[in-house]
Amino acid sequence: MRCPPKLIASRLNTIVGWFYNHLARLIYAEAVSWKPTHLAELRGYVDRQRRGHYLEGHAGEYIAPNWAIYQRESLLYADVEAYQDGKLEWSAPRDPPYGHFGSFRPHALRVVEAMEQVGMFTPAGLKAVSDIWGSLEYKDKEDHHDGRKLTEQLLTRLHAEGLILDTANDEHVGTLYNDWQIPMYNLEFSLIPVSLEELEAEQERELWSMVGDPR
């Protein structure tokens, strides 16, 4: 089903709005490396990443804040953290997780570089992306097989219009086929509040799943 122009404009406004949301950008960047079966499964992955708090530990004994937000803020800010026992701890900015393992090029950066190499960021390239990817709305069960067909159509058009750079290579093409994530404009990225009562009930379920429910 082709997206009507008004719907495309609405989706674009939504995406631009998410650009100014830290959690949305963090999830979107991380999602490039996920391999969901279809959009509905990807929605489930995203929703788990949106939870304000989650359980950690062997049997869910620890309550932790949203990991994406915590990881970002712990790299940037000094803060005071309160644990479940009420004890306060000083938190100083720490080293990036990949700081001791050499350079690391994020999946999202590789995808953006590939897009640039095949001419997608030119006015004509953007028009081609809109025309071809706008021919199918990703709502539920649309998947990577649909995406590969659209990617092939797009690359064929970009080549025919002479938009692909001379520096583009097979790696760039492979990145678009394999790492360009399912369109996410129909997904929600806002933080999901999780109450203490919900977390404690989840902890109890985790405990009984480990030791066996006597009932």
Lowest mean per-residue pLDDT among 85-89, 142-146, 159-163: 85-89
pTM (two decimals): 0.77
Mean pLDDT of 124-153: 94
Give the whole-angstrom CA distance, residue 175 versus residue 112: 10
Residues 120 and 88: their CA atoms lie apart, in Å, by 50
Helices (H), 56-165: 67-76, 107-117, 123-133, 144-160
| Per-residue pLDDT tens digits for 8-28 | 667 777 778 888 889 999 999
- Is pLDDT of 53 > 80? yes
Please give the pLDDT value at position 15.
Answer: 78
pLDDT tens-place string over residues 64-106 = 899 988 888 887 777 777 766 777 877 777 666 555 545 567 8
Give the pLDDT of residue 146: 95
Confidence of residue 118 (pLDDT cuts 50, 70, 90): very high
Instruction: Give the C-alpha separation, 49 to 43, whole Å.
Output: 10
Residue 74: the pLDDT is 80
pLDDT surpasses 70 at 161: yes
- What is the share, in percent, of the chain residues with pLDDT greater than 90? 54
Residues with Cβ within 8 Å of residue 153, at least 6 apart in sequence: 132
